[in-house]
Structure 1
Amino acid sequence: MASVCLGLGLVMSADGGTAQTLDPENTLYMDLEYGRVVIELRPDLAPNHVARIKELTREGFYDGVVFHRVIEGFMAQTGDPTGTGAGGSGQKLDAEFSLEPHVRGTVSMARAQSPNSADSQFFIVFKESEWLNGQYTVWGNVVEGMEYIDQIKKGPLPSGMVDEPDTLIRMQVAADAKE
């Protein structure tokens, strides 16, 4: 379902459905060269991950970080300050797995083989990816701007590692937004 932003924290479905008011403290603005992506945070599913994402966002950690791994028809991954897929903030988080499905626009933590290895990297899925369900921590959903995620430069298969990747210009908690 497509949505349109009607102002700070108000999202209305494109089909004329009921407007949904988003909590500014649990909403992220992700600015890309293509436009603004709005992410609704899910502290009900992953309270520790949401708290850490907001902390890193408020520190400016994600500003200027690239989408280093992007696989057509699967996902776009960011959150590594080295741009290699091997870096992070240095703070590992315990998994907060849930039954929330990975559907178009789901935002989840990237991790190594260990379930408790998520740090600062995360990914946004382009389409339903049921094999991820229950194995990655879901902490948000794109509620506006998925068309901008679709435009992010893709990498070659099988790795999806991108040469000259697109940049996450700025990420803000909506409650702190200056614009």
Structure 2
Amino acid sequence: MPAAATEPAPPAKARSMQEIIDAAKPSDWRALDPARTLYMELDSGRVVVELAPQFAPEHVANITALAHEGFWNGMSINRSQDNFVVQWGDPEGENEANRKPLGSAKGKLPAEFSRASEGLAFHALPDRDGWAPQVGFVDGFPAARDPEQGQAWLAHCYGMVGAGRDLAADSSTGAELYVVIGQSPRQLDRNITTVGRVVEGIERLSVLARGTGPLGFYEQPSQRTPIRAIRLASDVPAAERSPIEVLRSDTPLFDELVEARRNRRDDFYKRPAGHIDLCNVPLPSRRTPGK
């Protein structure tokens, strides 16, 4: 008798984003480097910022010097503009006579809007982008690339941190920083030096009362949020550090995570989108297990 025909196995059910994260191995995660991690200490708690020296080395060097010397300690958050940014620094920064000295940090830096793409481990997304020929991730940072020009740059996604400047391209020092808290203002890409991203505590900044002055600046000193300190994690005793790991963005598991977000297949979604925007890709973090 002929062998009975076998039914093809049903396709494996796609895993949800949470199932993918739960299945991640220790090698799918990486710990933050204390030498390039900032802790902003507010009355409401800690905000953790990972710096990106591979894109803005001179700005990051200035920022680490400022943090190491306590430049921001006792300063404030001075601006909260709805659907845009929260900004902090010296409230007397515009007053040359009263502004705080930068210490050993440089008073003049080059604009670091982009860099050569050669040498970067660029992990591209599958979909087109309206702002760049290619988009993807470099070491967990959302980034864009122009292969013809050989240039790459960080993208202004939610939670990204940039260095405020005046009209001149080279007028930023890293002393005035902001974080994106609204719809991704990608028009700022390659117009401002982007220095890192918030990996934990963004909610402590995004919920701040909006400023009523021009560009969301607070009109009264009493409206500002005081900053207890901004410190390098490497200057903080190990027992007081935040033991954070972030999901690596250069692995097959991350690709699966992107696809799970790109084509949602849970019961609520009736039609997969087949597309994902760079700034809508999740960048999971977690507390290191056992710590």
TM-score band (shorter)? 0.7 to 0.9
Aligned length: 165
What RMSD in Å do the two structures reach over aligned CA positions?
2.0
Per-residue CA deviations over 1:94-148 (Å, capped at 9, x if unaligned) read: 1111221101111000000000100211111113111111000011110111111
**1:96 — aligned with what?**
112
Q: In structure 2, do the counterparts of structure 1 residues 109 and 42 end up closer, same or farther at CA, with 3 Å as the change threshold?
A: same
Runs of 5+ consecutive residues of structure 2 not aligned to the other structure: 1-20, 115-152, 241-291
**1:29 — aligned with what?**
39
**2:196 — aligned with what?**
140
Q: In structure 2, do the counterparts of structure 1 residues 84 and 59 end up closer, same or farther at CA, with 3 Å as the change threshold?
A: same
Greater mean deviation of Cα atoms: 76-85 or 110-119 = 76-85
Please state whether the residue corresponding to 1:170 is helix, strand or coil. strand
1:123 matched to 2:178? The reply is yes
**1:12 — aligned with what?**
none
> Would the aligned equivalents of 1:69 and 1:85 in 2 still touch at CA under 8 Å?
no
Runs of 5+ consecutive residues of structure 1 not aligned to the other structure: 1-14
CA distance in 2, matches of 1:81, 1:159: 15
TM normalised by structure 2 equals 0.53
Alignment partner of 1:154 out of 210, 217, 222? 210
Greater mean deviation of Cα atoms: 149-158 or 107-116 = 149-158
- 1:117 corresponds to which letter in structure 2? S
- 1:176 corresponds to which letter in structure 2? D
- 2:179 corresponds to which letter in structure 1? I
Identity %: 36
Q: Which structure's relative contact order is higher, taking Cα pairs within 8 Å and 6+ residues apart?
A: 1
> Would the aligned equivalents of 1:68 and 1:84 in 2 still touch at CA under 8 Å?
no
**1:39 — aligned with what?**
49
> Would the aligned equivalents of 1:69 and 1:78 in 2 still touch at CA under 8 Å?
yes
TM normalised by structure 1 equals 0.84
CA distance in 2, matches of 1:102, 1:117: 19
- 2:37 corresponds to which letter in structure 1? T
Q: Give the greater-gyration-radius structure (CA).
A: 2
